[in-house]
A and B are shown apart, each in its own frame.
Chain A
Amino acid sequence: MDVKHMRDYLGWLYYQYLLITGIYVLEPWEKSIFNTVLFTMVAMVVYTSYVFVPIHVRLALEFFSGLCGGQHESAMALMS
């Protein structure tokens, strides 16, 4: 029951995707080209963000923490 409902829902989502992108009217081979291109692009975006986002986040964190901490340290150095 639940599986069927889920399948219907996915089918509905796919149908909406077909309609909104307009590929509903295309021939099957064109559809598969579009899907392949879109899938490849999405996959690359996901992969790139998986690889690079953590690094960038870490670098940013280091930078900002260094910014705050460094100021503090230099202030201390002046004091002494």
Chain B
Amino acid sequence: MTESSSSKLLNGDTCHRTANGKKAARNGFVKNHCLLQQQQQLQKYRRPKEKSIQSHHVSRNAALYNKPFVESFEETPLLVAVLTYMGYGILTIFGYLRDFLRDWKIEKCHVARERDEQKDFVPLYQDFENFYTRNLYMRIRDNWNRPICSVPGARMDLVERVTPDYNWTFEHTGRVMEDVINMGSYNYLGFAENTGTCAEESAEATLKYGAGVNSTRHEMGNLDKHEELENLVARFLGVEASMAFGMGFATNSMNIPALTGKGCLILSDELNHASLVLGARLSGSTIRVFKHNNMQSLEKLLRDAIVHGQPRTHRPWKKILIVVEGIYSMEGSIVRLPEVIALKKKYKAYLYLDEAHSIGALGPRGRGVVDYFGLDPRDVDIMMGTFTKSFGAAGGYIGGKKELIEYLRSHSHSAVYAASMSPPVAQQIIASMKCIMGEDDTSLGRDRLRQLSENTTYFRRRLQELGFIIYGNEDSPVVPLMLYMPAKIGAFGREMLKRNIGTVVVGFPATPIIESRARFCVSAAHTREMLDTALARHRHPLRLQKSRPLIVRCCAVRWHQSGCAAFSAG
């Protein structure tokens, strides 16, 4: 027996994804060649003693890593889960009540609905998503889409708004909420600024080139700035060539279709970003989904793909592309890149790595998740990333072999049809990237990287000490703090804002329904005082709870009973 019981369970779970419901070959030959399961078997008996609350994600192939890889996804406490479902149940009942009232014209309906002449056709607004939007999201809508009226750096100014009709419409009062601590922007290295070298250089670029280019790269829109930018990005990533696009989302959704097509297989992480999902779907390839960051699941899919080939014909797949992200922005987890690369090499697949959140934010030199694990960038076939986050600009890039980039340059929709990147934006990227690389003759970039990593460690540690349930890798600057209950999404956002802290709260469509969360993005621009202020908002009430001898798992309950108390009291 080479399969451990845990992997059997996983196999059972993923079997339904294999073509035609065929089970994996049950002969020992394939099993014995299984890279990760063998190692796991060895490790099973000497698994390092991790914290008991760590989930199954904790290191299995420790030999592949050059540093401890600690990720925690604490299980939802049962009581909290039950209460959360109860809360949704109550809200759903009231949702039905309101829908009933709207239907009978007792109250005015503010949202789109079928016109009278459409009444006999298939209903358009009856599915769960519409119900959710109408009856749950609308009630706490004031937490999102808030207008900002300053540079969204470490602090920002918000436009104050009020709603006369419970979030159906908003009115601006004309006042401004000043100096709100910004814990929500993806401003990891703090390059979202309106002063300093980057801003000055972009201003100069605007004066020289103007703001728009009004043409595509193929025609009259190829500036020397773009060439400079691409060379710099290639140098930064350590790849042969690179290519920049004006929009990060389109970089994913338009380039994957250029890379794969019919007869290809895409293995995609279940928590991949919408842009990757869209790209994969547009490509027309077969898509199979593996469990989040779960290498057993990925290996199972890879083996099945190779053993069985395409459905029905059983021809081998033309290409197998593994699509993963560097940092998953909702979970704060970091991809198990060394294992993915080992698998990719073993099964001769291609690897598409989306470093949207990790580029600039991870690694001793800020060069993303490859740098973080100390790996060779040439092992990743397609390095994709965005300039929207750490660089404080806009757009995306793709890096890789020269042939790949040249192919994409002539085949990708976002290269051929999209207007080229605005010159000040390109200049901002060049300046910030040079700063990170230390080519501006200052230690500013290095300081920022160090500051970010210090802030991350500090913020995560303090939150853990305070007893919150937080998800993700301990080195990830994205810190999701679990809220669970639907009312707490609204309450947390509002009460934090009342205390001058801007956070992002995330609910159902973006997360599983019971795992609502608040997401903090730590930035190098945050000072220790700001983080302390943010943390202090929860600390005070916890004092009265800490004496209670509760097991760690109750932290969620403990916090939720106390954390929000501060809000009511304060």
Contacts and interface: CB of A to CB of B under 8 A. Distances in A.
A47 interface: no
A26 B135 CA distance: 10
Contacts of B91: 22, 25-26
Nearest to A31: B94
B263 to A, nearest CB: 49
B337 to A, nearest CB: 39
Nearest to A30: B94
A53 B376 CA distance: 75
Interface residues of B, number: 25
B485 interface: yes
Contacts of B97: 30
Nearest to A23: B90
Nearest to B557: A20
Contacts of A34: 90, 94
Contacts of A73: none
B569 A25 contact: no
Interface string A45-69: 0000000000000000000000000
B560 interface: yes
Contacts of A21: 86-87, 90, 487
Contacts of A11: 568-569
Interface string A7-34: 0100110011011111111110010001
Given A15-B564, A27-B166, A30-B94, A22 B88 contact: yes
A25 B91 CA distance: 9
A30 B90 CA distance: 11
A55 B339 CA distance: 69
Contacts of B568: 11-12, 15
Nearest to B93: A34
Nearest to B569: A8
B83 interface: yes
B561 A22 contact: no
Nearest to B561: A16
Contact of B487 (A8, A12, A18, A30): A18
Contact of B139 (A8, A15, A18, A26): A26
A47 B323 CA distance: 62
Nearest to A25: B139
B487 A25 contact: yes
Contact of B87 (A8, A15, A22, A30): A22
B565 interface: yes
Contact of B485 (A12, A15, A20): A20
Contacts of B564: 15-16, 19
B490 interface: yes
A19 B485 contact: yes
Given A20-B83, A22-B485, A15 B140 contact: no
A12 B541 CA distance: 11
Contacts of A15: 564-565, 567-568
Nearest to A15: B568
B90 A19 contact: no
A34 B87 CA distance: 12
Interface string B164-188: 0010000000000000000000000
Nearest to A20: B83
Interface string B481-500: 00001111011000000000
Contacts of B136: 25
Given A19-B485, A20-B487, 20 more contacts: A8-B569, A12-B569, A16-B564, A19-B487, A19-B488, A19-B491, A19-B564, A20-B83, A20-B560, A21-B87, A22-B90, A22-B485, A23-B90, A23-B487, A24-B487, A24-B490, A25-B139, A26-B94, A30-B94, A34-B90
Interface of A: 8, 11-12, 15-16, 18-27, 30, 34
A-B CB proximity, top 4 nearest: A22-B87, A15-B568, A24-B487, A25-B139
30 contacts: A11-B568, A12-B568, A12-B569, A15-B565, A16-B560, A16-B561, A16-B564, A19-B485, A19-B488, A19-B491, A19-B560, A20-B83, A20-B485, A20-B487, A21-B86, A21-B87, A21-B90, A22-B88, A22-B90, A22-B91, A22-B485, A22-B486, A22-B487, A23-B90, A24-B491, A25-B91, A25-B139, A25-B490, A26-B91, A34-B90
